[in-house]
Chain A
């Protein structure tokens, strides 16, 4: 056993269940979220969004509004402070929507055209609703559909490789005993975090101070400094508690508007988005139209894999929903082709939303695998096992670890997959038809450079400083556990400070990279501190601090394919009279490296799986073709799974050591959602014999599909 000057060493915090360190504050209301931190002299800004989908602003008639009670200013393109959007930020060029009020052009319905600032939120809202904005409207095009002739292949970016290709696809398809060709669609989906986006900005002691709700205050501070041409050291962004983010809480117009207004008024300004505004201002998941062709030998071995995914972007910025990436990791084939295509429409720019790419992509590819299994007369798991690659199918690199077979095996055992009758439409319980389905899951395990500081305090406690973001996942707690093990102390002796750009640069909470990135930096600093303490010189009043920066170590990582894996299982019940689909149980088994806190990890995985259920059956934003805006952009119109829709969901994991990896943590933010929609759609087929290739699987679609299937069956009978 290792001994230190502090007595017996303690380890094992990582891997044992701990409640959130801030849990009590959250359930008692003591934790303040960004929209509720009090400030003296606080003012309230309310955004006014365009009601036309394309055109120019002719006039903003602010005169009458300025005379309304409490109104302090109206900012718009003719009077707002200038910002610079021509820069390269932490994640690339900024979305031009950050350049609010800089010109008269309106590129989509819901573009910010003004900010009304008043003494109270109610006054600002009433004035914003009264503000008359006149437009010169132009015809718009918001029609997303498969095979649009103006679709194009985007340029490669550091984030997305547009196309990969190997082998002769047509030749391999021609040589295949079994060919599956199918088209799948997923709709526009929205993050809808429980806490709306909110920012309060003020100038304090010559520095810009922003209280925000975001996924990375280093990131937001850096972008605000660039936008307003400020010394980065003069910008401080804090984000203490975040009520859900899911990819939507980076930079949005509300932060820019708050900074503009506080600069003009020299008073603190708070801008909070409404649920309806969030539908057009914070990004969303693009709808997708995906075409898959699979060719296989009679024994299921893949000869050809072709996955082409079309998504949309706005006219002002390019975002690619990378739906075709799944096959680059999961399945090899002699000929292998993946391609992304984009159409530019008069709509807001999409963005990352939980498991960007993999979530919609897995619906298509994992449904197609199920269809191929049916055609081959094979068990869906056996088909996947048959096509398990040794190295990554496209890059050819080795996997850091790939434990998906264990996920299939453990999942099948716990779900009771063995002996499943593969024939569809046979199981009935009262008015419900029953079926089961499965799908595979994967998501990259990335890492980003971070700095951390760990201090030994004179009172025997430790303080970890890392600019992590706890978006509700338990990141603060996870860092305490990681630090405790590295320091070999009890976790309750470690306090963690996060969510403050003054703590130094760190990775965002995004792309399932947070815990891996921050945990690495904390471990290095804590290890170093432990060595310093081992010298036994005593602790001075200011404590002893060790610091770390992982940039160099990340650069030295071996070239490997690093991913989490999983297997999703679903049982559904379908009422053919009404088209209702109810999920009876879900089981997800994951291989995701070291699980830091089983309690919050399970919660996060179950949350992802619940969202997958929601994606399969409920979620869909409807764009009104005539106006170019949404219909039902609220939680009445946009359905997500409510409690009664969520059945017994089990999430668990298999051991997944990552040989030679300095951290061992892979990240679990995204993988829970991946594959769930396919597993459910596959189970719906197993229940009814009808394939649903368009999400969500709404009752009206089930009824229509059942009618069509009956008609086809009747027609076939007549033909025979």
Chain B
């Protein structure tokens, strides 16, 4: 393990300046992913800039009843926040579906967005991996890939994004705020994770040296009736093999509004816009949900061991939308 420096920043400007002082510096949030990767030799920073004490730990209403979530809000605090639970229940459920209580007490919202894939080739420095070591190859394609991507993967990388929280944020059109040494900026979450293409090592559109300062959720009345469901290989403390965040508004049996995002199917949280388009204005029926699912998953490309995810995601979309229909009708 490489010897590294450690600095604790007290404000955003200092944090950004400290990071800029060393090209091999990394921000340290809860450290629940970064420290593991350092132990494994995947990450070898020369300097850690601890941002966990920054004054970015509040959840506030925005004008118009959206929510602004600070980057250092812990996963535990986010999931327990009454306004999150009331207005965006799928977000609270998604956070609680991730990791363990101890990890959620440490993990931050900003860090959660930037966590790396758990692909077993990526986390093992004795193996090839285009994401970790560009150009070295992707052994998962011909190797172990039963939990790899079925949507938008490339011949260079088929890893999936690991965050549950980001799936719910994608469903609710979250906007990520950041700060560089020069200026503040923002990016909708749907544009935050670029296509894999031939650059799987480039995981976000965040400018170099930028610090995530928060996430804004626009007002979304539909989100009151929302759910997150995660399927995993054991009941707790495992990464998803498929997840869904869904919100639904139904009047007189007709879908008025719907939000759908899928997890563990792509290198990013997957906003299911094709399914949403197929649903809006149509009947809230199991048949319509299945048709919408097929529309979204038509683009899926399965490898020998991950084709079950097409079935799984179709079933999940139908099951969760059916549950929400019942909830809305009560």
Contact = CB atoms under 8 A, between A and B. Distances in A.
Interface of A: 51, 122, 125-126, 129, 276, 431, 577-580, 582, 617-618, 622, 624-627, 629-634, 636-637, 639-645, 698-700, 703-704, 707
Nearest to A706: B311
B310 to A, nearest CB: 10
A122 B41 CA distance: 12
B46 interface: no
A126 B2 contact: yes
A642 B143 contact: no
A431 B233 contact: no
Contact of B1 (A51, A126, A577, A703): A126
Contact of A643 (B1, B121, B236): B236
B234 A125 contact: no
Interface of B: 1-3, 40-41, 118, 120-121, 123-124, 126-127, 139, 142-144, 146, 231, 233-239, 241-242, 305-306, 308-309, 311-312, 315-316, 318-319
Contacts of A707: 311
Contacts of A637: 118, 120, 123
A639 B318 CA distance: 28
Contacts of A645: 234-236
B214 to A, nearest CB: 28
Given A624-B143, A642-B234, 7 more contacts: A618-B234, A627-B126, A629-B127, A634-B123, A636-B123, A637-B120, A698-B233
20 contacts: A125-B1, A126-B3, A129-B41, A276-B40, A577-B315, A577-B316, A578-B231, A578-B242, A578-B312, A579-B312, A617-B233, A629-B124, A629-B126, A631-B144, A639-B234, A639-B238, A642-B234, A700-B146, A700-B312, A703-B308
Contacts of B242: 578
A639 B234 CA distance: 8
Given A618-B234, A624-B143, A639-B234, A703 B311 contact: yes
Contacts of A631: 120-121, 124, 127, 143-144
Nearest to B139: A626
Given A624-B127, A631-B144, A636 B239 contact: yes
Contacts of B121: 624, 631
A580 B236 contact: no
A636 B37 CA distance: 12
A699 B231 contact: yes
Contacts of B143: 624-626, 631
Nearest to B239: A636
B164 to A, nearest CB: 15
Given A700-B241, A700-B308, A632 B144 contact: yes
A669 B1 CA distance: 38
Contacts of B319: 431, 577-578
Contact of B120 (A51, A632, A640, A641): A632
A291 B108 CA distance: 51
B139 A641 contact: no
A639 B233 contact: yes
Contacts of B312: 577-579, 699-700, 703
Contacts of A579: 231, 308, 312
Given A622-B120, A627-B139, A617 B308 contact: no
B3 A580 contact: no
